[in-house]
Amino acid sequence: MDSPPPHPPPQPLVCSWLRANSLAQLRKILKIKTSRHHALPHLVCLKYTSQSKTKSSFKHDRQMIGECRGLILDESNDFKVLSYPYQRFFNFGEPDAAKVDWSNVFVSEKLDGCLMILYFYDKSWMVSSSGLPDASGLCHHAQKNQTDQTVGNLFWEIWVNLGYELPDVSKLSDHYCFMCGMLRWRQQITAPIEKDDIVLHGVRNLTTMKEEFPQRFAQEFEWKCVKFHPELNSLESVKSAAESLGFTDDNPEGFVVCDSEFRRIKVKNMRFVMLSKMPSKFQKTHQFDDLKHESSEFLKHQIRTLIDIIRKKAHFGEDEEFISYQKQENWRWKTLFQELSSKFDEVCDRIQNILDGGKDRSSLARSKVREIIQEM
């Protein structure tokens, strides 16, 4: 008696949804950004946006949104999966953060770089960013503040300079995509970067659709691998290690916690989170450790940043990453944030009372509003 055929590997939920619907509906309903490869327009990259998370409270929809973090599909081949990087994951303390199994965790450094994905299509290796299937976005020279080259071209330039070689597909037992962090000293995001680098930090088997740990692949291909910290095995130990990071550390952003089922959370340094929310001009002129010293200039930018977060909350909802860290007892700006939030709510209420106060929408009402804003 013949054995039953094996079950096909689990596909991303969004693939089956698209087979019954359309990319246009995905954009409209879940606010997913769709980008096509310039040379191969049937290759489509899906990326959630800041509006996506507010569009549905249904678990089914949230799962599809989470899958769209650089997922690349072949529209001409029944939306076949060509590249499937990480599912979206959150900071500890956020409402949607995964519940990791702390009895079996793997803690790695969180790189402050660009997520780049190597994937194989039509007999060649290609590279994508998290939002574009051909990584055709333009990068900027951080010091000259000018357009430099495409992110994809930069990736291959660094790749060649590092002496990296591409995997021999004939020697791979399955189909894979490889998730890397691209670090560039001229285009550092928030953390300091001393030299250009490409670091492997994730792998997905596209035959089984399951993730695999990157260490053996980095060793086999002679690529640099993200650093793991086996001594960190509890939330408190990871939080403590994150807060002890300073400007001189290689990767001061924080850590990624992953269990054996590849459920992940981020644990960041709170100073890093604060600096990343500040204007880019401030980030370029101030070092990470400057946040230890509350200079008058820093306090000015700090207050503006907090007010901006509070203001955006009224229009777009909570900045969930920021909120997850400001809830911590040792957050040094907790009192200031609470005072500014209360003041902002008071100002909004007073302005609304003027606008709701009847017939006078004239210059007198506008003058009252200006007085309230100046008072704040």
Quick one: tokens of 329? 């007892």
Residue 107 inside a domain? The answer is yes
Minimum mean pLDDT range among 138-142, 144-148, 149-153: 144-148
Please identify, among 212, 244, 269, the residue that sits at the C-terminal boundary of a domain.
269
Is 32 in the same domain as 88?
no
Please give the Cα distance from 197 to 133 (Å, whole number).
Answer: 21
187-243 pLDDT, tens digit each:
555 555 668 999 999 999 999 999 999 999 999 999 999 999 999 999 999 999 998
297-331 pLDDT, tens digit each:
666 666 666 667 666 665 445 555 555 655 565 55
How does residue 30 score in pLDDT terms, banded at 50, 70 and 90?
very high
Residue 131 sits in a domain whose CATH number is 3.30.470.30
User: For residue 62, which phi and psi values (nearest 5 degrees)?
Assistant: -60, -35
Structural domain of 186: 84-269
153-186 pLDDT, tens digit each:
999 999 999 999 999 999 888 899 999 999 886 5
Residue 257 pLDDT more than 60? yes
pLDDT value at residue 324: 60
Burial annotation 322-361 (CB, 10 A radius, 16+ → b, else e): bbbbbeeeeeebeeebeebbeebeeeeebeeebeeeeeee
Is 170 in the same domain as 281?
no
Is 75 in the same domain as 151?
no
Please give the Cα distance from 320 to 94 (Å, whole number).
Answer: 6
pLDDT value at residue 359: 47
3-state secondary structure the chain: CCCCCCCCCCCCHHHHHHHHCCHHHHHHHHCCEEEECCCCCCEEEEECCCCHHHCCCCHHHHHHHHHCEEEEEEHHHCCEEEECCCCCCEECCCCCCCCCCCCCEEEEECCCCEEEEEEEECCEEEEEECCCCCCCCEEEECCCCEEEEEHHHHHHHHHHHHCCCCCCHHHCCCCEEEEEEEECHHHCCCCCCCCCEEEEEEEEECCCCEEECCHHHHHHHCCEECCECCCCCCHHHHHHHHHCCCCCCCCCCEEEEEECCCCEEEEECHHHHHHHHCCHHHHHHCCHHHHHCCCHHHHHHHHHHHHHHHHHHHHHCCCHHHHHHHCCCCCCCHHHHHHHHHHHHHHHHHHHHHHCCCCCCCHHHHHHHHHHHHHC
Residue type, 99: K
Please give the Cα distance from 302 to 297 (Å, whole number).
Answer: 9
For the chain, the straight-line distance linking the first and the last C-alpha, in angstroms and rounded, comes to 80
Which has the higher per-residue pLDDT, 260 or 326?
260
Is 190 in the same domain as 320?
no
Is 304 in the same domain as 355?
yes
Mean pLDDT of the chain: 81
Residue 1 inside a domain? The answer is no
Residue 201 inside a domain? The answer is yes
How does residue 95 score in pLDDT terms, banded at 50, 70 and 90?
confident
How does residue 251 score in pLDDT terms, banded at 50, 70 and 90?
confident
Q: Rounded mean pLDDT of 254-273? A: 90
Is 61 in the same domain as 110?
no
Q: Rounded mean pLDDT of 350-374? A: 57
pLDDT value at residue 96: 87
Is 261 in the same domain as 307?
no
Residue 4 inside a domain? The answer is no
Please state the domain count of the chain.
3
Please give the Cα distance from 13 to 309 (Å, whole number).
Answer: 33
Is 112 in the same domain as 224?
yes
Minimum mean pLDDT range among 5-19, 215-229, 356-370: 356-370
Is 23 in the same domain as 93?
no
Q: Rounded mean pLDDT of 70-84? A: 98
Is 53 in the same domain as 66?
yes
Minimum mean pLDDT range among 34-38, 73-77, 265-269, 336-340: 336-340
Q: Are 133 and 122 in contact (CB under 8 A)?
A: no
Please identify, among 28, 60, 83, the residue that sits at the C-terminal boundary of a domain.
83
How does residue 352 score in pLDDT terms, banded at 50, 70 and 90?
low
pLDDT value at residue 185: 62
Which residues neighbour 196 within 8 Å (Cβ) at sequence distance 6 or greater? 158, 161, 162, 183, 184, 185
Q: Rounded mean pLDDT of 329-355? A: 67
Is 187 in the same domain as 319?
no
Quick one: tokens of 268? 């960041």
Residue 366 inside a domain? The answer is yes
Is 362 in the same domain as 241?
no
Residue 284 inside a domain? The answer is yes
